[in-house]
Chain A
């Protein structure tokens, strides 16, 4: 393990003047970095779970159903996701939570990737959709990539390294997947409070963030949202 100097707090990176220059090229650098992660030799990670796309979609849906809180938007999303193409690409190492907050940025740009708890083996393009979710734009909703960049730069960076070339339509399917995934994570967090396993106002409050993911999904599916 080594010490890497830089900043990981999203709002500081987006707000502070010292990162202004770094932000200009950050989407491209993130694309490159994600592609490099996906080139890792998966035989080195036998301890990581392997998850197919359809298994992940079904797992998320079944988790949502288990809370017995009816969401017509999530029902719709589940059926929609089952019809999508997520890219025919070999299983790779997937970071699983690649976004601002989990990367270290210096004034020079991207320095390191942290928080690998959700890493697994599967369709790696998930990482490209996740960083484009509105939940990780911290209010800068017009900057699709993490609140700082545009999707073309992210994909240019990715496609400059990866043999598999990705298009925006595939990323969009993953974006909806990622938004649904974050919605289900919010349900899980809230349930920890609701079932009494912890008494936490933060976990209670996050239950009311599910509606953020619902409006993001209807915006993406019906209203031309990016």
Chain B
């Protein structure tokens, strides 16, 4: 990257801090609720920038092994299931669907109850 610090994540975290520390207490309740959504969105973006590549690669690597190919995408996996080219009881398939779901929620909402339960 040719860009100076702060990095994209550092910038986003500065904005989050500003909203949380300075703005939250100034806004009326109906906007406080929306502000919480805005702060969550910023956190999603931070997590995706920081972990997104590794989390995606993990799933795609498993998928490449499953379909025995050098390239693979979620569309390939969706079509494999849709066209029933794989047994739905296949353990490797089910494992990929679990990993895919865990890795997506790890970015979208790592506090989600089902995710936390599965991590324990």
- Chain A positions near chain B (C-beta within 8 angstroms): 70-73, 75-76, 79-80, 134, 137, 139-141, 201-202, 204-205, 208-209, 211-212, 214-219, 221-223, 225
* Interface: B82 (CB within 8 A): yes
- Chain B positions near chain A (C-beta within 8 angstroms): 34, 37-38, 40-41, 44, 73-75, 77-78, 80-82, 84, 88, 94, 96-98, 100-102, 104-105, 108-109, 112-115, 117-118
CB distance from A177 to the nearest CB of B (A): 17
Q: Looking across the interface, which residue of chain B has its beta carbon closest to that of A74?
A: B78
Main secondary structure of the interface of A (DSSP, over half): helix
* Cα of A183 to Cα of B26 in the assembled complex, Å: 34
CB distance from B117 to the nearest CB of A (A): 6
Please determine whether A205 and B41 come into contact, CB atoms closer than 8 angstroms: yes
Could you jot down 5 A-B contacts, CB within 8 Å?
A72-B100, A134-B113, A212-B108, A215-B102, A215-B104
* Cα of A110 to Cα of B97 in the assembled complex, Å: 39
The verdict on A70 contacting B74 (CB below 8 Å), with A211-B105, A215-B105 known, is yes
Set of chain A residues within 8 Å of B118, measured between Cβ atoms: 215, 219, 223
CB distance from B87 to the nearest CB of A (A): 11
